[in-house]
Structure 1
Amino acid sequence: MEQLKQQLRAEGIAYRENEPLAAHCTFKIGGPADVFAQPETEEQLCRTIALCRECGVKYYLLGNGSNILFEDAGYHGVVIDTTALKMGIGILENVYHPGAAPGEVYDAVAAGAGLKLSALCAAALENGLTGLEFAYGIPGTVGGAVYMNAGAYGGEMKDVLDKVTYLTQDGQIVTEEAAKLDLAYRHSIFEENGGCILSAQFHLKRGDPEAIRARMNELMAKRVEKQPLDKPSAGSTFKRPAGAFAAALIDQCGLRGYRHGGAAVSEKHCGFVVNMGGATCADVLALCDEVRAIVKEKTGYELEKEIRVVKA
């Protein structure tokens, strides 16, 4: 690790030691990272990963910190903060799209992986581009959203994704079409291939800015009304089982408000586990196990966690 830190300093890549990970995730849970690196360019990001591999140090790529749960012991390696990347948005107007109907015009929108999804949605609105309304209000970065094929209100990232540029495990930068990324419900090929997403390109249709704004505001109002946005959480805790809804099953089993330590099933939305104050990773995992067991016993449904636990 000392050799790695020396090389990071030599190459001007910013980092901190023993950085509390609770400060960098939406659950506000997690111990310290041995090293918390903050590359500012795509080149620095690729170099940081290369140095970790050369030095035999494990690493974790962190976006906005939503949908994840860090262990109480933290992370014994390097957490790489992609939100520090200085990468903007590029728009190529009037591009060919095979699904375009007569009179429809599409623009190609490219964004860096570290860009917040909210910023991408805002840019789409500003330019009168429709297709990302569903993503407005989803916490996270572009890279994280593509990685898990994030979605809400009937839309998913795969609906508008064209291609992704990423760093392979052997250090090559490649660009792959969306059709080859095994995009499915909360899944992509990046869960298996270990690739580091650098940027993504989307196809967005030109539309009426006021209609786009109205739809975004409508969906945000639904989020505020139904989701426990006032308490720390990792978002939706369980994946949707076939033929049912996790929140409805949990509520049906009388688990609304169910607690274990500082973690609780949200009173407002049973699909969320929230941090009531001082919750630990152990609290959350124990609560999830208890909820899964009760739901399985009472309904026969097997719930699968949507949040990803980052092992120390």
Structure 2
Amino acid sequence: MIEQIKETLVGIDIRYQEPLKHYTYTKVGGPADYLVFPRNRSEVQRVVTFANNNGIDWMVLGNASNIIVRESGIRGFVLMFDKLCDVTVNGYVIEAEAGANLIETTKVAKRQSLTGFEFACGIPGSVGGAVFMNAGAYGGEIAHVLSSVKVLTREGEIKTIEARDLRFGYRYSALQDSGDVVLSAKFSLKPGDYTQISQEMARLTHLRELKQPLEYPSCGSVFKRPSGHFAGQLIMEAGLMGHRIGGVEVSKKHAGFMVNIADGSAQDYEDLIAHVIQTVQEHSGVTLEREVRIIG
């Protein structure tokens, strides 16, 4: 199959049996059979069409910020959109390709004195992943600013979907059910004052640096916010701050995060997540729900 891939998908950057731990924010994860870095939509379509025609599984990993990849790795094609990262501005609308860094995209908005995107100035990850998860922080979320997305369907067709048709909810979009892959997104913003936008982004960045354990590899916020509670507070009250399994521990800085402090494994993450869910359930009666995706 590798020879057939090389012949058919000539010119596309494909790496074979590539360890995903080199690319994930957690620094864990086994190999992808075929790790692909497409340079444009055409290459994405070529890979997906080939995979579909040959019965090979495929998935998009975004920039791997809010996921845990198991040591067994991922079969088939794994597409990373690092090279699909163009950001353009047209009036009050910013269009960003799926692989664009979300934080850098908010900086483009700032430079253009466009307001509405400040909430996302500290959210790690790609634009595509942010739309997929309806990422949010500090009272804002992607649903508030998105106008439309261009997607690739599982069948390999490109289509545009209006934001109102994505059925956004808390850390949810309809893309999680349809399997459609974000290629680019349009955000409708408003004219604002550059100084005010800069000050607000600096304030939120400072808050994030104070509260979040950015000095260690992590998968970001592990759990969704339970109704009427805060996950980090429940974990702290259950006495789990600093609790460690293998090389992964509940952050001593923010209990809603788990950090890889000593060459931890994906299994360490999974075991710690399970332990936290069980302990919090026993302590407070609240069942935490994972926000982070576990794949492989």
TM-score range, shorter chain: over 0.9
Distance 1:166 1:24 in 2: 23
Matching residue of 1:83 = 82
**8 Å contact from structure 2 (residues 222, 258) kept in 1:** yes
Report the CA distance between 1:45 and its aligned residue: 1.0
Matching residue of 2:39 = 40
Provide the secondary structure at the position in 2 that maps to 1:84.
coil
Relative distance call for 1:270 and 1:255 in structure 2 (3 A) is same
Matching residue of 1:99 = none
With normalisation by structure 2, the TM-score equals: 0.97
Provide the secondary structure at the position in 2 that maps to 1:56.
coil
Distance 1:208 1:4 in 2: 55
Distance 2:7 2:228 in 1: 52
Aligned partner of 1:41: which letter?
Answer: N
Report the CA distance between 1:244 and its aligned residue: 0.4
Matching residue of 2:6 = 6
String of CA shifts for 1:14-56, please: whole Å, max 9, x gaps.
Answer: 1111211111111111111111111101111121111111111
Aligned partner of 1:137: which letter?
Answer: G
Provide the secondary structure at the position in 2 that maps to 1:114.
coil
2:229 matched to 1:257? no
Alignment of 1:156-195 (within 5 A): 156-195=141-180
5+ residue gaps, structure 1, are 94-106
2:96 matched to 1:59? no
Matching residue of 1:152 = 137
**8 Å contact from structure 1 (residues 249, 299) kept in 2:** yes
Matching residue of 2:197 = 212
Distance 2:189 2:4 in 1: 42
Distance 1:280 1:53 in 2: 32
Report the CA distance between 1:2 and its aligned residue: 2.4
Distance 2:281 2:201 in 1: 36
Aligned partner of 1:21: which letter?
Answer: L
Relative distance call for 1:205 and 1:13 in structure 2 (3 A) is same
Question: What is the root-mean-square deviation of aligned Cα atoms in Å?
Answer: 1.2
Report the CA distance between 1:4 and its aligned residue: 5.0
Aligned partner of 2:20: which letter?
Answer: L
2:291 matched to 1:310? no
Report the CA distance between 1:171 and its aligned residue: 2.3
Matching residue of 2:123 = 138
String of CA shifts for 1:100-127, please: whole Å, max 9, x gaps.
Answer: xxxxxxx111111111112211110110
Aligned partner of 1:88: which letter?
Answer: D
Distance 2:175 2:138 in 1: 24
Report the CA distance between 1:131 and its aligned residue: 0.8
Distance 1:243 1:195 in 2: 32
Report the CA distance between 1:145 and its aligned residue: 0.4
Report the CA distance between 1:3 and its aligned residue: 5.5
**8 Å contact from structure 1 (residues 62, 81) kept in 2:** yes
Aligned partner of 2:242: which letter?
Answer: G
2:55 matched to 1:70? no
5+ residue gaps, structure 2, are none
2:216 matched to 1:231? yes
Matching residue of 1:283 = 268
Distance 1:5 1:37 in 2: 11
**8 Å contact from structure 1 (residues 168, 195) kept in 2:** yes
| Structure 1 residue ranges, 4+ long, deviating more than 6 angstroms after superposition | none
Aligned partner of 1:47: which letter?
Answer: R
Distance 2:284 2:294 in 1: 26
2:23 matched to 1:24? yes
**8 Å contact from structure 2 (residues 245, 272) kept in 1:** yes
With normalisation by structure 1, the TM-score equals: 0.92
Relative distance call for 1:213 and 1:8 in structure 2 (3 A) is farther
Aligned partner of 1:55: which letter?
Answer: N
Relative distance call for 1:161 and 1:4 in structure 2 (3 A) is farther
**8 Å contact from structure 1 (residues 69, 310) kept in 2:** yes
**8 Å contact from structure 1 (residues 25, 66) kept in 2:** yes
Matching residue of 1:110 = 95
**8 Å contact from structure 1 (residues 4, 51) kept in 2:** no
Alignment of 1:237-248 (within 5 A): 237-248=222-233
Aligned partner of 2:292: which letter?
Answer: I
Provide the secondary structure at the position in 2 that maps to 1:251.
helix
